[in-house]
Amino acid sequence: MAETANRLICASADLANSGKAVRFEATDAHGHVVSALVFRYQGRIFAYHNSCRHIPVELDLTDGEVFDLTGHYLVCSMHGALYHPESGLCVGGPCRGQRLTPLNVSERDGQVFCVTAAARGDTEKNGER
């Protein structure tokens, strides 16, 4: 199993159920820095690239407000595509059937981390396997 590295994103207490998401920067498969969101839904945390599958704009535009009024779907602020928070599947709108790009996140000791494959020289390595 490959080693992983954890990068601190925020405190667990920053993520309320169906509440405001926390924005952070992640690296995509090509090594480009991309905008990302982490949020809590029904007690669990999830993270995705902050990019709509219809047009690659940020879902929340600026502020982490990404849940719809029901608190059960993520909504794109541009044209209203609805995504299921657990799967990232678009269930309504112009990109129905497509999925947000997921990111690995973990939560321990009251903190939320982005989990990535460890690069040589990473200082905070995760020894858990």
Binding positions for ligand FES, rule: CB under 6 A: 52, 54-55, 57, 76, 78-81, 93-94
DSSP 23-55: EEEEE-TTS-EEEEEEEEETTEEEEEES--SSS
Judged by CB, which is closer to ligand FES: 36, or 114? Answer: 36
Give the shortest CB-75-to-ligand FES separation in angstroms: 9
Give the shortest CB-59-to-ligand FES separation in angstroms: 7
Judged by CB, which is closer to ligand FES: 67, or 113? Answer: 67
Judged by CB, which is closer to ligand FES: 39, or 113? Answer: 39
Q: What are phi and psi of 113, to 5 degrees?
A: -125, 150
**Residue 2 CB-density burial (10 A; 0-12 exposed, 13-18 middle, 19+ buried):** exposed
Judged by CB, which is closer to ligand FES: 91, or 117? Answer: 91
Half-sphere exposure of 55 (CA within 13 A, CB side): 7
Give the shortest CB-77-to-ligand FES separation in angstroms: 8
Give the shortest CB-79-to-ligand FES separation in angstroms: 3
Q: What are phi and psi of 8, to 5 degrees?
A: -65, 130
